Amino acid sequence: MKLSNCNKTTGQCNSCNIGWYGTNCQQNCSEGCLNNNCSKSDGTCPVCTAGWFDVRYCNNGWFGISCGSRCSSNCTAACDKSNGTCNDCRPNTVGPYCNSTCGSGCQPIPGNITCNRNGRCTSCIMGRYGDRCDNNCNITCNGGCDRYNGTCINGCIKGKTGEYCDKNCNDNCIHCKQDDDNSCTECKNGRWGTSCNELCSVNCKSQNASSTAQLPL
């Protein structure tokens, strides 16, 4: 029978079997340590010095000084042995630890990539724009806006003009072209002309007048 080796006076172990550490080698090394090997004194996993940084000898899926922390379940492959940041993320998860989801402004794409690792959306829901689709299109846009810069792409609501539909048509217009506030497509009552700056003849019948002639009594 092979006897274990310890200090004859104190009973403290001189060294531990693989997988154990502590004064009397009664504590388990973390299962995350590579080959179940750790420091006898404090249970930390061995370190390899690679250039200017240290790399822990952790099993894949584990990180930390004692390799006692699991990588996020959203990491693909492995994570950084020191701080746990993921090398890559599962689809539609974002952030250093892949523990966040795509923004609410992203257009969900079932079976495909809704956003990338940095949170950039593949496409936006109606009314949103920006990399993360977290900006609102102007409410004066007629429909949605450009995904990248927010310019209105389907024209403006009545009375508005400009790239962002944030300017007013001239005072005589009800509706004008998006690129020209003086090019009217609909005039206010009593007006006519390209920019609705002409007055209708006073002899024109008013639109709110009765269409039936009043007979004399």
- Are 162 and 178 in contact, with CB atoms under 8 Å apart? yes
- In one-letter notation, the amino acid at residue 172 is N
At 3, the pLDDT band (50, 70, 90 cuts) reads low
Round to whole Å and give the CA distance between 65 and 83: 9
What's the DSSP call for residue 24? T
pLDDT at 48: 64
| Diameter of the chain measured on Cα atoms | 136
The pLDDT confidence band at residue 154, using thresholds 50, 70 and 90, is very high
123 pLDDT above the threshold of 90: yes
Provide the mean pLDDT of the chain.
Answer: 85
